[in-house]
């Protein structure tokens, strides 16, 4: 029995993710009678999620930015396989409001929060401000822009601190810093990981 989301029958679902995340979505879809399409990079060609999907489409490029984060390739794969829905899993494109909107604009069902909700909650800084406005208790925090001194901000918060890239999700770009000696490298490595994983440092 296929699922109905937004009054549209879903018969074929493209999973815009990889690894265990993709496997769980594929398993759930199959239990609901929905066919699945996996997308994969060359390094994932022999991964279990590729074999478990009903169809699999190879992405061109190397690294996440050129493959799993390439919006145009992902949507082209959905169209090529006649997928009527895209599930982003978490991490990668799941917090990309522009991608969610483009999927919907192309007449494909987006299985996830609305683009508006993603915009509000996807950026960790704006979501924190939204929670503070709603009087939800939050931990002390500070935004570190290129012109800011991270050590000054961290000392006001108090160690240990958690360095988190504002974009992305799935635990990427996070570093626990017990004291000031590791702060500079934590900020730099968090930025590198966020840039590689989400295309936004």
Percent pLDDT > 70 in the chain is 94
Q: Looking at residue 95, what is its pLDDT?
A: 84
Q: What is the mean pLDDT of residues 142-151?
A: 88
Burial 143-181 (b: 16+ CB within 10 A, else e): ebeeeeebeebbeeeeeebebbbbbbbbebbbbebeeee
Average pLDDT, the chain: 90
Q: What is the mean pLDDT of residues 161-171?
A: 78
pTM for the full predicted model: 0.71
3-class DSSP state of 161:
strand
pLDDT tens digits, one per residue of 57-80? 999 998 888 999 999 999 999 999
Q: Looking at residue 122, what is its pLDDT?
A: 66
**CA pair distance 158, 141, nearest whole angstrom:** 10
Percent pLDDT > 90 in the chain is 65
Residues 6+ apart with CB under 8 A from 196: 63, 64, 65
pLDDT tens digits, one per residue of 2-31? 443 445 789 999 999 999 999 999 999 999
Q: Looking at residue 73, what is its pLDDT?
A: 98
Q: What is the mean pLDDT of residues 137-147?
A: 88
Q: Looking at residue 143, what is its pLDDT?
A: 86
């Amino acid at each position: 029995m296929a699922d109905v989301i937004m009054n549209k029958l879903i018969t074929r679902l493209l999973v815009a993710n990889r690894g265990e995340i993709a496997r769980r979505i594929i398993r759930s879809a199959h239990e609901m009678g929905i066919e699945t399409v996996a997308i994969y990079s060359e390094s994932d060609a022999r991964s279990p999620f590729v074999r478990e999907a009903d169809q699999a489409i190879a992405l061109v490029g190397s690294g996440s930015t050129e493959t799993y984060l390439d919006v145009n390739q992902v949507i082209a794969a959905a169209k090529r396989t006649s997928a009527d829905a895209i599930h982003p899993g978490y991490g990668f494109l799941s917090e990309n409001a522009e991608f969610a909107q483009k999927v919907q604009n192309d007449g494909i069902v987006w299985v996830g929060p609305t683009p508006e909700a993603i915009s509000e909650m996807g950026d960790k800084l704006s979501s924190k401000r939204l929670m503070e406005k709603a009087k939800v208790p939050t931990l002390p925090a500070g935004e570190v822009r290129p012109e800011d001194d991270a050590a000054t901000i961290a000392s006001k918060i108090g160690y240990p601190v958690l360095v988190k890239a504002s974009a992305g999700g799935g635990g990427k770009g996070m570093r626990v810093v017990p004291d000031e000696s590791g702060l500079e490298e934590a900020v730099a490595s968090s930025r590198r990981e966020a840039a590689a994983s989400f295309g936004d440092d």
